[in-house]
Amino acid sequence: MELLQLEYFRTVARLEHMTRAAQELHIAQPALSKTISRLEEDLGVPLFDRQNRQIRLNAFGKAFLKKVETALDVLEEGRREVADLAGMERGSIHFATNALGRITGALGAFREVYPEVNFRILQTSPASDEEMIQLLESGEVDLCFTASSLDYPGVCEQPVLNAEVFLALPPGHRLAEHESIRLEDVADESFIEYKTGHPFRKINESFCHAAGFRPRIVCEVDEPSALGSLVKAGLGVAFMPACWKDERPGYPMLRIESPDCRRIYSVAWLERRYLSEAARRFRQFLNEYFSEALPLAT
């Protein structure tokens, strides 16, 4: 049994299509078919059910695939660990986040210090912690930068940013001249919010609950930029991160005296999986970057 056979098998199993697999692997389709057939002969069982020109992974194939993926993942981790031990400065970081806007500055700053490090970044749905967990478990990413705790066995989380949250008001609002407010002072206001399931929606609603009221939501959005646009148009108030206050958005942003309104961003990784030197450096860099770049957030 050869390593190349296993890599070819994993690709065919994922696509369940011999021609597309051959194209992705950049080999001739007859050569790929012969390699898979030889693997099945070595194992003594068929790995695929074949009907006409269609192939489907069977029970033997599914069981074998789990072990193949584990073996190939371990070998990849070994390759990266050896490269680190050999002092390789070039590295790569596979990274997922549901708060891309919050981390772009840090990414640019890291690249200035380590220009040889390559990134592969996946933007995940803010409402899907399960997607991040799956990416970590499968080894598709090394680290996640998340706006909400994943709270999953085997996943380590390191808080790197404790960001203050302000309340944005439409221009000319009755409280616009204030520097700060208590959240209960706007209990009767119309709120602009993220859609149900978004982690910030849950956090924001917890702020209101602590202030003793349930917000009256008149607009629901997907993107942070939409919040500001609707506030500026006078449709309601909205929770905004501290960094937006420095961007002169064109509407008042007031500090919230009570309750304490903050969002905690964390870096997450899988405890049992090897982290490359580049990934470890980036994890530490995020902690240092946010503590220095955003003193208001601490």
What single string gives the DSSP state of each residue in the chain? --HHHHHHHHHHHHH--HHHHHHHHTS-HHHHHHHHHHHHHHHTS-SEEEETTEEEE-HHHHHHHHHHHHHHHHHHHHHHHHHHHTT----EEEEEES-HHHHHHHHHHHHHH-TT-EEEEEEPPTT-HHHHHHHHHHTS-SEEEESS----TTEEEEEEEEEEEEEE--TT-TTTT-SEEEGGGGTTSEEEEEPTT-HHHHHHHHHHHHTT---EEEEEESSHHHHHHHHHTTS-BEEEEGGGGGG--SS-EEEEEES--EEEEEEEEETTS---HHHHHHHHHHHHHHHHH-GGG-
d(CA 264, CA 163): 6
Q: What is the pLDDT at residue 200?
A: 87
The percent of residues in the chain predicted with pLDDT above 70, rounded, is: 91
- Residue at 298: amino acid letter: T
Q: What is the pLDDT at residue 294?
A: 47
- Nearest Cα to 148, choosing from 134, 130, 122, 166? 130
The percent of residues in the chain predicted with pLDDT above 90, rounded, is: 40
Under the banding of pLDDT at 50, 70 and 90, the label for residue 246 is low
Q: What is the pLDDT at residue 86?
A: 46
For the chain, the average pLDDT equals: 86
Q: What is the pLDDT at residue 127?
A: 65
Q: What is the pLDDT of residues 189-211, one digit of tens each?
A: 999 999 888 888 889 999 999 99
Q: What is the pTM of this model?
A: 0.63
